Structure 1
Amino acid sequence: MSKKPEVTFKYIFTYDYNPVYVNGAHGGVSPRGDLVVNFYLERPPLPNEITHEVNPNGTIGAETGVEPEDFAQSLVRFVPTGVVLNYQTARELHHWLGEKVRELETLEQHKAAMRAAAQQPGGEGVQH
């Protein structure tokens, strides 16, 4: 019986490899036909400065000012990284992501079924 050919990939990480959490992306097709994807973390902004009254006893009192003044109506999209993919790599990544999303959906369905079973009389997790 002949063995099928195999290849082994070794992963090499840069010294500063550091996965980051992202909750969105922005990008598009470059003039050269590559897909540019910039990943971001959307979050409320932090103020540049906050001013407080000082109480007579020296403790910090009520907030009296915030800079910038409109920061409460703003959101920040912090962009820690991005990628540039050619057409073929984008298609392969699309396929891979689809597989992983299906795995997550199966896991979520299993978790929902377990929660539902635990809520039923006589189900696991019900204390008597």
Structure 2
Amino acid sequence: MSKKPEVTFKYIFTYDYNPVYVNGAHGGISPRGDLVVNFYLERPPLPNEVTHELTPSGTIGAETSVEPEDFAQSLVRFVPTGVVLNYHTARELHHWLGEKVRELDALEQHKAALRAAAQQPGDEDVQH
């Protein structure tokens, strides 16, 4: 019996490989027909500067000002990385992501079923 041809891929990571959490993406199609995807983490901003009053006892008191002034009305989209994909790679990634989302769907359904079962009264709770 002959063995089917195989290929083994070895993964090489750069010294600064660092996975990051993202919760959104922005991008589009470049003039050359590539898909440009910039990943971001959307979060409340950190102030550049905060000023507090000092109490008579020398401790930090109430906040008196924040820089920038529109701080409370702002959100930040921090963009740690992006990718550029050609058409064929974008299609392959789309397929791969679809498979992984289906796996996540199954996992979420399983977790929901376990939660529902845990909320049901068991036989020990039934009085005869």
Report the Cα distance in structure 1 between the residues aligned to 2:116 and 2:91, rounded to whole angstroms. Answer: 37
Aligned CA RMSD, in angstroms, stands at: 2.6
Shift of 1:82: 0.2
| Whole-Å separation in 2 of the counterparts to 1:123 and 1:80 | 53
Residues 84 and 68 of structure 1: is their aligned pair in 2 closer, same or farther, counting only changes over 3 Å? same
Deviation of the 1:126 alpha carbon: 12
For normalisation by structure 2, the TM-score amounts to: 0.95
User: Closer, same or farther in 2 for the Cα pair 1:28/1:55, shift >3 Å?
Assistant: same
Contiguous gaps of at least 5 residues in structure 2: none
Cα distance in 2 for partners of 1:108, 1:6 equals: 34
Counterpart CA distance in 2 for 1:34 and 1:40 is 19
Query: Distance between the aligned counterparts of 2:44 and 2:127, measured in 1?
Result: 41
1:39–1:124: structure 2 CA closer, same or farther, 3 Å change rule? farther
Comparing 37-46 with 116-125, greater Cα deviation is found at: 116-125
User: What is the aligned partner in structure 2 of residue 6 from structure 1?
Assistant: 6
Cα pair distance change 1:9/1:123, threshold 3 Å? farther
Cα distance in 2 between the residues matched to 1:84 and 1:10: 22
Gaps of 5+ in 1: none
State the aligned residue count: 128
Match of 1:127 in 2: 127
Q: What is the CA distance between 1:127 and its match in structure 2?
A: 15
Q: TM-score scaled to structure 1, two decimals?
A: 0.95
Q: 1:123 to 1:37 in 2, by over 3 A?
A: farther
Report if aligned partners of 1:48, 1:68 keep a CA contact under 8 Å in 2. Answer: yes
Shift of 1:123: 7.6
Deviates more, 1:62-71 or 1:105-114: 62-71
- Matched-pair contact (CA < 8 Å) for 1:27–1:38: yes
Distance 1:44 1:124, change over 3 A: farther
Aligned residue in 1 for 2:82: 82
Say which SS state the counterpart of residue 2 (structure 1) adopts. Answer: coil
Report deviation, 1:77: 0.2
